[in-house]
Amino acid sequence: MLTYTPDQIRDSRLKPGNTGLVLPVRAAFVILVRNSELHQLRATIRQLEDQFNARHRYPYVFLNDKPFTEEFKRAMEWVTSGDCHFGLVPYEHWSMPPWIDRVRAKWAMTMMGSRVPYGDSESYRKMCRYESGFFFRHPLLDGFDYYWRVEPGVEFTCSIPYDPFKFMVDNNKSYGFAISLREIPVTVKSLWKTTNAFRAAYPDYTAPNNMLRWVTAPDGDYNMCHFWSNFEIASLAFLRSPQYTAYFDFLDRAGGFFLERWGDAPIHSLAVAMFLNKSQVHYFDIGYYHSPFQNCPTDPHFNAQHCFCNSNHSMIYNEDSCTNDWLAL
Ligand SMILES: Nc1nc2c(ncn2[C@@H]2O[C@H](COP(=O)(O)OP(=O)(O)O)[C@@H](O)[C@H]2O)c(=O)[nH]1
Ligand SMILES: [Mg+2]
């Protein structure tokens, strides 16, 4: 049995210069990351600070299934302007639940193997389950209303001359995305069927002006469209809602995180499509790159003034993007 010190479980490092700072929104960057990704994350945060946060000083919440090293914490303190909170993910949130048939799960990983990205990875499945159902329950997020998810290695290729958190609040938005695309079908074989079973069990939970059209193929099946969740700016109240948590519990019981390879991106997206009205969702046309795709603003004036990305390469022009269909709803 591993035991951790209180500082390994939860370590808040506040910057003296931020004392008395009042932010317009109770919001934070949330970053699930391994110690080994320190250098990729430093590069990412450096850009995020230059393009946006140095002018705002929003705090950061770093989460990890293993204790952060002192080296990692120091590096993050140096590169950030906002306060830093380091948290350990509890074991129950990062594990295969007891009701999963181990033999079937093992078989699924063997079958997918290397034919599907992370097909044979158990830790990737734990990560997807964590990002689907648990990160927003971490006590370090208790005081926050909105989050912006960041991953090591992503790039912010344009300055952000406004406050996206404040935009979310002022415009009554619950979920914001930058890139949408299509999921690999074998990873979500029974997700649509399970989602329909959930809707039948909880008919009152579907929003009146929902976006289910956006995720439904002409034959009534799932069309694989989803928001790419490595970037999202969203309301924590949405994830904490009875609708979302009931949906996650229903999916978790069905076991597809391990018996297939359900990603947190299609799950967040199907929840958004069911539970939110279209007006509560926002496409952030910001400069954002996560290999191998990017969103790059196409307005020539904005791009020239604020960006270092080539708008011809923006995902919006890719036939696998679902963003134009979303805009057309
Ligand atoms: N602490 C921790 N973070 C992880 C682990 N696996 C993935 N992550 C984080 O989860 C996020 C998604 O993982 P990533 O490897 O980028 O997956 P991809 O974007 O789907 O290729 C990133 O922020 C990773 O740093 C893990 O085993 N431990
Ligand atoms: Mg990634």
Asked if residues 225 and 269 have their Cβ atoms less than 8 Å apart, the reply is: yes
Query: What is the pLDDT, as a whole number, of residue 227?
Result: 98
Give the rounded percent of residues in the chain with a pLDDT score beyond 70.
100
Q: Band of the pLDDT at 1, cuts 50, 70, 90? A: low
Q: Distance between CA atoms of 289 and 315, rounded to whole angstroms?
A: 10
The upper half-sphere exposure of residue 282, i.e. CA atoms within 13 Å in the direction of its Cβ, equals 20
The closest-lying atom of ligand 1 relative to the alpha carbon of residue 290 is 19
Whether pLDDT at 268 is above 90: yes
Best of 8, 30, 31, 32 for a ligand 1 pocket test (most atoms within 8 Å of beta carbon): 32
Q: Distance between CA atoms of 269 and 271, rounded to whole angstroms?
A: 5
Q: Give residue-wise pLDDT tens across range 32-85.
A: 999 999 999 999 999 999 999 999 999 999 999 999 999 999 999 999 999 999
Q: Give residue-wise pLDDT tens across range 219-244.
A: 999 999 999 999 999 999 999 999 99
Q: Give residue-wise pLDDT tens across range 184-218.
A: 999 999 999 999 999 999 999 999 899 999 999 99
**Nearest ligand, CA 118:** 1
What mean pLDDT value characterizes the chain?
A: 97
Query: What is the pLDDT, as a whole number, of residue 3?
Result: 85
Q: Distance between CA atoms of 291 and 83, rounded to whole angstroms?
A: 28
Question: For atom 16 of ligand 1, which residue has the closest CA?
Answer: 151
Q: Band of the pLDDT at 256, cuts 50, 70, 90? A: very high
- How many residues belong to the chain? 329
Give the rounded percent of residues in the chain with a pLDDT score beyond 90.
98
What residues does 288 pair with on adjacent strands? 156, 295
Q: What residue spans define the domains of the chain?
A: 6-327
| Structural tokens at position 244 | 């979302």
| Structural tokens at position 69 | 């090293």
Q: Distance between CA atoms of 116 and 186, rounded to whole angstroms?
A: 8
Residues with CB under 6 A from ligand 1: 32-34, 37, 64-65, 123, 127, 151-152, 230
How far does residue 32's CA lie from ligand 1's centre (Å)?
A: 7
Asked if residues 169 and 278 have their Cβ atoms less than 8 Å apart, the reply is: no
What residues does 146 pair with on adjacent strands? 27, 235
Question: For atom 27 of ligand 1, which residue has the closest CA?
Answer: 123
For 6-327, give the CATH class. Answer: alpha beta
Asked if residues 142 and 190 have their Cβ atoms less than 8 Å apart, the reply is: no
Q: Give residue-wise pLDDT tens across range 146-174.
A: 999 999 999 999 999 999 999 999 999 99
